[in-house]
Amino acid sequence: MNANRSLLIAAMAALPLAIASANAQAQSHEMVIATQLPENMSNNAIYPALVHFKNLVEARTDGDLAVNIFGGGQLGSEVENGSEVQGGRTLQSTIMSSGAMSSFYGDYQVVTAPFLFTNWRQAWAFFDSEWFADFMSGTIEDADMRYLGTFDDGGGFVAFTNNVRLIETVEDLEGLNIRTEENPAHVAIMQALGASATPLPWGELITALETGLADGQFNAPVLNTTFNFDAVTDYTTLTGHVYNSAPWMVSESWYQSLPEEHQQVLINSAREAIQLSHGMSGALATASWVESCDRFEECYLMPDEERERMADIARPAWQEWIVDDFGMEEGRVQGLLDEVERVGQEVADEDYRVYGQ
């Protein structure tokens, strides 16, 4: 009896090791994804989409390709993550802001164009298009990274907040000192619109507004409410003059090491995750704008006519900067701008053809 009991205890003690060994044999591949977004299922649209991606991939490969997600910047900065993904050994995938992406693939800077999109449908159709996937195919040669798709960064369209006055026209920007990202494109846009620009890292933003180093800033409404900018600024205006995006990249070297059936699962699952994020992004941005109007002293939704006035002023200055200073080919810049316009018109025409006639 005692001998049998001893054998049972020994078998139970060995069970966890046996299970771990079986799991190790079942899992042939691992994909580690890093993002700066918090591991939260309700305050951003990217982390829930990555969780959906994980569930799809692991189910469709029967656990042979395991996906692990690290949010909140646990694995380093965006640029550090991008560098790790290039190697593909410890980190296989990451999501970067437009500024970080531009440090690996300079042509991505073109999506900083002011007033690039007029609505979410146009933006999503463009970023999900074969044209843009072909535009991004250069990342394979330039950075050893493959493009999977584009998330909205904080909801895409941005809103000003400032301490001086409500911005209702382009003239209201005259003389304001606006904090921008450390991105020369944003500096060029602000200066063209009559404001001065103070480029500062994110960590110095609140202090700059509190001390008067900057009069205001712009970010997506989701960020303006999440980080309580109403506590340090009084007025907010939704202009959408910049559309913040976050491309999703995967190591090309690692991707090519996968079996073809796993590659297809990865691509199909990523595309579904991107689609899931679109609706959640729009919903969060809309809810945050409504919340902004409750929390800020005054809010203003800039009408299309005034946005077009601002675009007519800002666009030529930005184009001069990106061609003359940044060094991007004028034809490549104009080609993207033309395609964005074409996609917007096509979406509007097709919607009306299908649902309006």
The CB-side HSE value for 277 (13 A sphere, CA atoms) comes to 32
Q: What mean pLDDT is reported for the chain? A: 92
pLDDT at 203: 84
Q: How far apart are CA 238 and CA 300, in angstroms?
A: 6
Name the residue ranges covered by the structural domains of the chain. Answer: 29-356
Of 8-12, 112-116, 172-176, the poorest mean pLDDT is in 8-12
pLDDT at 49: 98
Kindly report the number of other CB atoms within 10 A of residue 118's CB atom. 19
**Quick check: 17 pLDDT over 60?**
no
The share of the chain scoring above pLDDT 90, in percent, equals: 86
Of 6-10, 143-147, 199-203, 312-316, the poorest mean pLDDT is in 6-10
Q: What is the CATH number of domain 29-356?
A: 3.40.190.170
DSSP symbol at 272: H
Structure tokens at 38: 């918090």
Tokens 């001998």 belong to: 3
- 16 — pLDDT class (breaks 50, 70, 90): very low
Kindly write down the DSSP assignment for every residue of 303-322, as one continuous string. -HHHHHHHHHHHHHHHHHII
User: Which residues face 243 on adjacent strands?
Assistant: 157
pLDDT at 99: 85
**Quick check: 105 pLDDT over 90?**
yes
The CB-side HSE value for 50 (13 A sphere, CA atoms) comes to 30
**Quick check: 6 pLDDT over 80?**
no
Closest-CA residue to 186 (of 238, 104, 244, 229): 244
Which is it for strands 29-34 and 65-70: parallel, antiparallel or unpaired?
Answer: parallel
Q: How far apart are CA 18 and CA 21, in angstroms?
A: 5
Higher pLDDT residue, 3 or 91? 91
**Quick check: 93 pLDDT over 60?**
yes
| Rg of the chain (C-alpha set) | 23
What's the pLDDT tens digit per position in 302-353? 999 999 999 999 999 999 999 999 999 999 999 999 999 999 999 999 999 9
- For residues 31 and 93, the answer to whether their CB atoms sit within 8 Å is yes
Structure tokens at 91: 């980190």
Which is it for strands 177-180 and 196-199: parallel, antiparallel or unpaired?
Answer: parallel
- 59 — pLDDT class (breaks 50, 70, 90): very high
- For residues 240 and 76, the answer to whether their CB atoms sit within 8 Å is no
pLDDT at 184: 86
What's the pLDDT tens digit per position in 249-280? 999 999 999 999 999 999 999 999 999 999 99
**The model's pTM:** 0.89
Q: How far apart are CA 262 and CA 59, in angstroms?
A: 11
Mean pLDDT value of segment 154-178: 96
**Quick check: 354 pLDDT over 50?**
yes
User: Which residues face 177 on adjacent strands?
Assistant: 196
pLDDT at 26: 57
